């Protein structure tokens, strides 16, 4: 999801083996999506807090380091043989794009209000759809073009170029979303031949050294308190990614994707309660427009894939 880039969507084995089974089936998917949205917002708030003491590039490295530690048991269980590949150049290209996107996004979190970063981060799927149409030649019809126009208009509502000075943080968030969208196009190519576990494993393996190199010029040894917050960043990120993927396992995308919008609500609350940030009307209106366009595109694409899967066996 936009805002955190360590793991692509992958079904981790035996996630929530006990607790989620006690929840009614109709509630599981929406509940997990709400947990994911809260977790991502909490992770972003924690990054903003610890960025007072550490450079965002160093935080990005520790995010990947702790993400790798969390992922290692999954990789061990699956077997290291899944790392055999002939697509290494594509993996490296995707890793470089993801690393650049993460470094820009984490920097943006230290510069502008949480609600504004969150609202602008919803543009990632918009850029992804645009890229799929222009680069991959995918067919995008009038309804999704309309959603794209609404979403990008929402972006302009927030940053208001020509009316106010475009902030560095807003610009970094938008560029980050563009790079993340490009990385997603590479994931689509990789997923044609590579397993989701391999894609996830190479992501954390490649991101660690890149973000470490970026962090070295700004390195400051974290205090024990800093390490606690960095651990929370990794914990919130891992829980959120597992919750996100599990939500799609327990419910249709059309049922849970709209709940991803609650990320903006949580970000606004965390920003207000912990950083005294009050989101302005332009951020809220633009955020609703961006999220609305992104959610519609996500739901529409999920329905088209489902229809294609139902037609294929009969053909």
d(C-alpha 81, C-alpha 203), whole Å: 16
pLDDT at residue 86, as a whole number: 82
Give the C-alpha separation, 37 to 22, whole Å.
21
Question: Three-class SS of residue 164?
Answer: strand
Which is nearest to 98 in space by CA: 133, 63, 73? 63
Alpha-carbon span 280 to 23, nearest angstrom: 37
Which residue reads 């391999």 in tokens? 198
At residue 9's C-alpha, the angle toward residues 138 and 96, to 5°, is 75
Mind giving me the DSSP string for 103-160? HHHHHHHTTS-HHHHHHHHTTHHHHHHHHHHHTS-----HHHHHHHHHHHHHHHHHH-
Residue 202 and residue 91 in contact, taking contact as beta carbons nearer than 8 Å: yes
Residue 194 DSSP one-character state: S
pLDDT given for residue 23 in this prediction: 66
Q: Which of 31, 210, 188, 48 is nearest to 125 (CA)?
A: 188
Distance of CA 235 to the CA centre of its chain: 15
Per-residue pLDDT of the chain (315 residues; tens, 9 = 90+): 454 544 444 444 444 444 666 766 667 788 888 998 999 999 999 999 999 999 999 999 999 898 888 778 877 887 878 788 788 888 899 899 999 999 999 999 999 999 999 999 988 888 888 887 887 777 778 888 888 899 899 999 999 886 777 789 999 999 999 998 888 788 778 877 877 777 777 888 899 999 999 999 999 999 999 999 999 998 888 788 778 777 877 777 667 778 888 998 999 999 999 999 988 889 999 999 988 888 888 877 777 777 766 666 554
CA 171, 173, 174 angle in degrees (round to 5)? 65
Q: What is the dihedral of CA 286, 29, 179, 92, to 10 degrees?
A: 170
pLDDT of residue 171: 94
pTM of the model: 0.84
Please tell me the distance from the alpha carbon of residue 120 to that of residue 92, in angstroms, as a whole number. Answer: 26
- pLDDT given at position 102: 93
Dihedral angle computed from the Cα positions of residues 26, 28, 34 and 35, in that order, rounded to the nearest 10 degrees? 170
Q: What is the pLDDT of residue 42?
A: 95
Rounded CA separation 203/206 (Å): 5
């Amino acid at each position: 999801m936009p805002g955190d880039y360590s793991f692509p969507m992958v079904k981790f084995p035996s996630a929530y083996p006990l607790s989620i089974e006690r929840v009614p089936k109709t509630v599981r998917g929406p509940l997990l999506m709400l947990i994911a949205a809260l977790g991502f917002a909490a992770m972003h708030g924690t990054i903003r807090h610890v960025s007072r003491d550490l450079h965002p590039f160093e935080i990005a490295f520790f995010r990947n380091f702790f993400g790798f530690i969390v992922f290692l048991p999954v990789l061990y269980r699956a077997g290291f043989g899944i790392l055999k590949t002939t697509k290494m150049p594509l993996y490296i290209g995707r890793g470089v794009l993801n690393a650049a996107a993460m470094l820009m996004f984490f920097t943006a979190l230290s510069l502008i209000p949480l609600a504004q970063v969150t609202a602008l981060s919803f543009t990632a799927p918009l850029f992804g759809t645009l890229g799929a149409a222009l680069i991959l030649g995918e067919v995008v019809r009038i309804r999704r073009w309309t959603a794209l126009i609404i979403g990008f208009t929402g972006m302009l509502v927030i940053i208001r170029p020509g009316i106010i000075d475009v902030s560095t943080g807003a610009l970094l968030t938008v560029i980050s979303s563009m790079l993340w969208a490009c990385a997603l196009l590479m994931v689509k190519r990789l997923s044609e031949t590579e397993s989701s576990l391999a894609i996830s494993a190479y992501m954390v393996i490649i991101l660690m050294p890149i973000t470490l190199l970026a962090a070295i010029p700004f390195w400051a040894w974290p205090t024990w308190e800093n390490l606690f917050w960095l651990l929370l960043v990794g914990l919130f990120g891992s829980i959120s990614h597992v919750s996100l993927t599990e939500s799609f396992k327990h419910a249709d995308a059309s049922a849970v994707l709209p709940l991803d919008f609650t990320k903006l609500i949580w970000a606004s609350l965390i920003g207000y309660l912990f950083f005294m940030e009050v989101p302005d009307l332009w951020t809220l209106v633009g955020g609703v427009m961006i999220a609305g366009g992104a959610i519609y595109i996500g739901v529409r694409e999920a329905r088209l894939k489902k229809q294609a899967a139902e037609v294929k066996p009969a053909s």
